[in-house]
């Protein structure tokens, strides 16, 4: 390990060239779809040794989730990238023993079983600490480790509804709209990765106590609900559904150009609004008392929005884009995935990478972000086959024999 038990090596490493940002950090990824594995994957992108622990039968359900190509699930290639995969049944006594042996050689455990499951299996935090007093455990659940909902099943879409986000998304005259992909899971994964790194910093740099981390799906979204909660507290306003930013800035929204392209425009500051009036060649909109300040524009948002809509509707997208870019007004085409794959900016930033795949030939996936100047992350391999690293981990790391592996396999432990 980079940080040996009870020892702060931060100062010892000054001046030492680190090949990967998280070299020496070992993470046990004992989780399935989606947030917690994503968190572990982010750490793997930057060099952490992530050991993915899966059930011997089937493994992570992500291996079977669509979309498919030639009947093969494609998402695992990205979600499992850079991880070493082992099989292990934690419910069996020998499985628990092997798991604790791995814990003894690791820095972090990331898990997302329903609250209380690890304790039920005899693998609670206190047990893990006995074999490794320095272990950090990150729990990712739908509703957290405490509270009335703690033991409820937690999935991204219901948690999004619980967070308040779904209620304010969509058109007022239509049903609420859930995100069309697992946004809450991925945002929660960011929180889990960030909080794990903070816990490592506290342990190894500040000589703090190792600790548990409690990440819930709904709180990852609710943390962003400053405006609705303040508005309700002070003004008694229940924010309703809106297809655009509502009550915060004006003008802004989704507009259609003459050649039927959909674009988004937003003016979040007075200066940006001034740029827009110049782009439109409408100085009167800047001096008109109805639109002079942000407060005025919010009060008269409907009429101002119609003016903007009419102006954009008279221009083809290329014409509009040239005008607003020159004026410094933030406007962008609403991109499809085809637009993204053909965009030169995405290409220049290496946002899409094409990796070799054992059965699909190659497969494209999102690149590594954020970008570090000295220690960039990398994708070394796509999601491995189930149990691909059993021999490497159990023999190489734990010192088991070939006969041990054969016995564990026949017993269904691995």
Mean pLDDT over 380-406 rounds to 97
pLDDT at 3 over 90: no
Active site residue 45: no
Q: How far, in Å, are 33, 249, 301 from residue 243 at the CA level?
A: 29, 14, 14
Q: Read off the pLDDT of residues 50-94 as tens digits, 9 standing for 90 and up.
A: 999 999 999 999 999 999 999 999 999 999 999 999 999 999 999
pLDDT band at 244 (very low <50, low <70, confident <90, very high): confident
For residues 359-377, average pLDDT: 96
Sign (positive or negative) of CA dihedral 391, 396, 402, 408 = negative
- DSSP H helices in 205-316: 217-222, 226-235, 270-279, 284-287, 294-299, 301-313
DSSP letter for each residue of 309-329 = HHHHHTS-HHHHHHHHHHHT-
Neighbours of 110 (CB within 10 A): 28
Output phi, psi for 194, to 5 deg: -65, -45
pLDDT at 18: 56
Q: Where in the chain is the domain with CATH 3.30.1540.10?
A: 252-335
Statement: residue 372 has pLDDT above 50: yes
Q: Of 127-136, 146-155, 243-252, 293-302, which gets the smallest average pLDDT?
A: 243-252
Find the length of the chain.
414
Virtual torsion, Cα 377, 383, 385, 386, nearest 10 deg:
100
pLDDT band at 19 (very low <50, low <70, confident <90, very high): confident
pLDDT computed for residue 188 by the predictor: 98
Assign a CATH topology to domain 11-223+353-410.
Rossmann fold (3.40.50)
What's the pTM?
Answer: 0.91
Which ranges in the chain are annotated with CATH 3.40.50.10540?
A: 11-223+353-410
pLDDT at 245: 72
351: CB partners within 8 A, 6+ apart: 340, 366, 367, 369
pLDDT at 379: 97
- Given 49, 185, 204, 301, which residue is catalytic? 185
219/142 Cα distance (integer angstroms): 9
pLDDT at 232: 96
Each residue's pLDDT tens digit, 197-224: 999 999 999 999 999 999 999 999 999 9
**Angle of the 270-279 helix axis to the 317-327 helix axis, nearest 10:** 130
pLDDT band of 243, cuts 50, 70, 90: confident
List, for residues 327-338, the tens digit of each pLDDT value: 999 999 999 999
Contacts of 96 (CB under 8 A, 6+ apart): 90, 121, 122, 123
158 phi/psi in degrees, rounded to 5: -65, -35
Average of pLDDT values for 224-243? 93
Mean pLDDT throughout 174-181?
92
Over residues 87-139, the pLDDT tens digits come to 999 999 999 999 999 999 999 999 999 999 999 999 999 999 999 999 999 99
Higher-confidence residue of 14 and 283: namely: 283
Q: What is the pLDDT of residue 248?
A: 79
Average pLDDT over residues 266-295: 95
CA distance 159 to 221: 9
Better-predicted residue by pLDDT, 386 or 3: 386
CATH superfamily, domain at 252-335: formyl-coa transferase, domain 3 (3.30.1540.10)
> Is the preceding peptide bond at 325 cis, omega within 30 degrees of 0?
no
For 5, 51, 85, 187, 228, the CA distances from 30, given in Å and listed in that order, are: 22, 8, 11, 19, 35
Q: Give me the pLDDT at residue 11, please.
A: 37
Element (H, E) at 42: helix 35-45
Question: What backbone torsions phi and psi does residue 229 show, to the nearest 5 degrees?
Answer: -75, -40
Q: Which residues of 74-88 are buried (b: 16+ CB within 10 A; e: fewer)?
A: bbbbbbbbbbbbbbb
- Predicted confidence at residue 242, as pLDDT, reads 84
């Amino acid at each position: 390990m980079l940080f040996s038990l009870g020892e702060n090596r931060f100062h010892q490493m000054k001046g030492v060239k680190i090949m990967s940002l998280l070299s020496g950090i070992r993470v046990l990824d004992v989780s399935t779809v989606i947030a917690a594995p994503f968190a572990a994957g982010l750490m793997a992108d930057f060099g952490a040794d992530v050991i993915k622990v899966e059930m011997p039968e089937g493994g992570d359900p992500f291996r079977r989730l669509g979309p498919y190509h030639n009947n093969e699930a494609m998402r695992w290639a990205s979600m499992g990238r850079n991880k070493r995969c082992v099989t292990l049944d934690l419910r069996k006594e020998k499985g628990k023993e092997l798991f604790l042996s791995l814990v003894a050689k690791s820095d972090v455990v990331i898990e997302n079983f329903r609250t209380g499951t690890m304790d039920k299996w005899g693998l609670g935090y206190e047990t893990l600490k006995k074999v490794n007093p320095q272990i950090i455990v990150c729990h990712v659940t739908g509703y957290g480790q405490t509270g009335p909902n703690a033991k409820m099943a937690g999935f991204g879409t219901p948690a999004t509804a619980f967070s308040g986000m779904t209620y304010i998304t969509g058109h007022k005259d239509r049903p609420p709209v859930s995100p069309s992909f697992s946004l809450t899971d991925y945002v929660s994964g960011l929180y889990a990765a960030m909080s794990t790194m903070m816990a490592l910093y506290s342990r190894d740099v500040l000589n703090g106590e190792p600790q548990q981390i409690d990440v819930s799906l709904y709180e990852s979204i609710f943390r962003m609900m400053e405006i609705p909660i303040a508005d309700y507290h002070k003004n008694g306003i229940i924010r309703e559904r809106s297809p655009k930013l509502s009550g915060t800035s004006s003008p802004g929204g989704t507009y259609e150009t003459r050649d039927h392209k959909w674009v988004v425009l937003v003016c979040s500051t007075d200066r940006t609004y001034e740029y827009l009036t110049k782009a439109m060649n409408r100085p009167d909109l800047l001096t008109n008392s109805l639109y002079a300040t942000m407060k005025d524009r919010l009060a008269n948002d409907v009429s101002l929005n119609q003016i903007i809509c009419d102006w954009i509707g008279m221009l083809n997208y290329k014409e509009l884009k040239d005008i607003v870019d020159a004026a410094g007004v933030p406007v962008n085409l609403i991109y499809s995935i085809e637009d993204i794959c053909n965009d030169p900016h995405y290409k220049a930033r290496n946002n899409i990478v094409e990796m070799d795949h054992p059965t699909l030939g190659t497969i494209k996936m999102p690149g590594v972000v954020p970008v570090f100047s000295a220690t960039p992350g990398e994708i070394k391999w796509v999601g491995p086959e189930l149990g691909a690293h059993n021999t490497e981990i159990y023999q190489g790391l734990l010192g088991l024999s070939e006969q041990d592996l054969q016995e564990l396999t026949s017993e269904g432990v691995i």
